Amino acid sequence: MITFRPAAKFDKPVTVLLLDKEQVKNKKFTFTQRVLQEQIHTLSRLGHFTAEDGELYPLLIESNVYLLVGIGESKKLSLTALRVSLRKALLSATAGKAKEIEIIVNEQNDNIVTAAIEAVLIGTYAWKKYRTASDKDKSVDMKDKHVFLVAEKKKAYAEAVAICQGVNFTRDLVNDNADTVTSDYFEKTVKELIKGKANVAVEILSGKDMRAKKLGLHLAVNQGSDKEPKLIIVDYKGAPGKKDYTAFIGKGMTFDTGGINLKPTGHVETMRIDMSGAAAVLGTLKNALALHLKKNVLFVLGIAENAIGPGAYKPGDVLRSYCGKTVEVLNTDAEGRLVLADAISYVVKNYKPARIIDIATLTGACVVALGNDYTGLMTTDDQFSRQLVRSSNETDDRVWRLPIYPELKEAVKSQIADIKNVGFPKGAGGTITAAEFLHQFTEGTPWAHLDIAGTAFNDGTERWYYGHGATGAGVRLVTHYLRHH
């Protein structure tokens, strides 16, 4: 919980102060506690604390605990580094046991305060649903802490809090067990989110509906599973007088074994995260509802489970898609693009959106190309790309554009069907050929593809200001895009 207060009161068990080098050196502080000012200046003069980026220094004055956090030179301030440093401070032994913490941001502007909010809410998130309590762990869970942030109470800051809650909502979905977050769970969650909302309608296609409407690709991917496939379309009317819609479509593989092209040990263990795209769509829907977004958006979730069984689809199969195109299956582990292809076709034909954004943990090749810090962005529309990159820069939800070009369609041509689900041989260009496969189903609608295979999940102990587990990649990015473009 975050409460905003206009001035520092130094009335909490721990006070965290974000300080830059110039402020410490020249004693230019926004707070008036002279004893604290002198102590900080003395530490600086002796070289014990100079506010270097990431520097932490605990300080005790009488019965008050202060945690000094260095953020480096203000002219070179990195908001990413600020988030990392504040996260480190809040999770430190000094602050860990405090139920209430005051945070003082010495130089206040909207970007710095928003970064501090994100450090508190996104940076300290931890998935502990299945951890039993330990007597050895005496620290207070961040969910139970009350943070008092010294900043003017503004609508923009309340909105930043709401957006962070959407990010963490997505992370909870991705982190949970695959047999918990099933297609039925997604349907239930959607209905709970939109309950009582007058400007929202929903269409839900079950397996029976898909068979009647001939969504052959989606059905094939799911046919080895005992779980029901679903295509869920939430029609959000934030601007009722306008017909201009953005469709935001997420890949929702609740578990991906790879099918008959089975994933090996070392890769299959985290495949509950293969629904991160659909979870990001839901987190963004939560944000749209909380922010009363003044845009029209289709929030689309293609939900399936790529399981192994006697009915599982097979390499070499030729499948017919919803739009009628036939697809040769060269690899059953290239399944997400099949589900997305039918979802894109269905939305284009029946809803006619002005533009499409799809989001998916689609290719390991994207991790090879960009690592874990940048989402792959592919689009044929330069303006669309510029807008998404601008939103990326504003939110620290980073993207990097990869090429899509006319000749690429040759890579997905099949000798026995219209197209194939794997492009160049030996894995070359796997990210861009996967995107080109999806491009074949857009029917000329402006479209952008976000590959979050590398950014959706942190398999280590920490990265940037994320701990282990889901990151909520794409939620801040697309929320900003929908609000501002």
Beta bridge partners of 447: 356
DSSP letter string, 88-143: HHHTSHHHHT-SEEEEEESS--HHHHHHHHHHHHTTT----TTPPP-TT--SPPGG
Question: Are the beta carbons of 340 and 439 closer than 8 angstroms?
Answer: no
Q: 195 in helix, strand or coil?
A: coil
| CA nearest to 25, candidates 8, 13, 7, 43 | 43
Out of 213, 214, 237, 263, the active site residue is 263
User: Is 97 a residue of the active site?
Assistant: no
d(CA 136, CA 134): 5
User: Is 337 a residue of the active site?
Assistant: yes
Out of 230, 337, 355, 420, the active site residue is 337
| CA nearest to 456, candidates 98, 249, 175, 260 | 175
d(CA 168, CA 252): 17
Backbone conformation region of residue 417, classed left if phi is above 0, alpha if psi is from -120 to 50, else beta? beta
Tell me the C-alpha to C-alpha distance, in Å, between residue 431 and each of 363, 368, 438, 449, 476. Answer: 6, 10, 11, 10, 23
| CA nearest to 417, candidates 313, 311, 306, 321 | 321
Name the residue with tokens 């529309």.
381
Tell me the C-alpha to C-alpha distance, in Å, between residue 371 and each of 208, 264, 366. Answer: 40, 20, 7
Q: How many CB atoms lie within 10 A of CB 31?
A: 16
Structure tokens given for 218: 């989606």
- Secondary structure letter of residue 465 according to DSSP: T
Residues that are catalytic: 263, 337
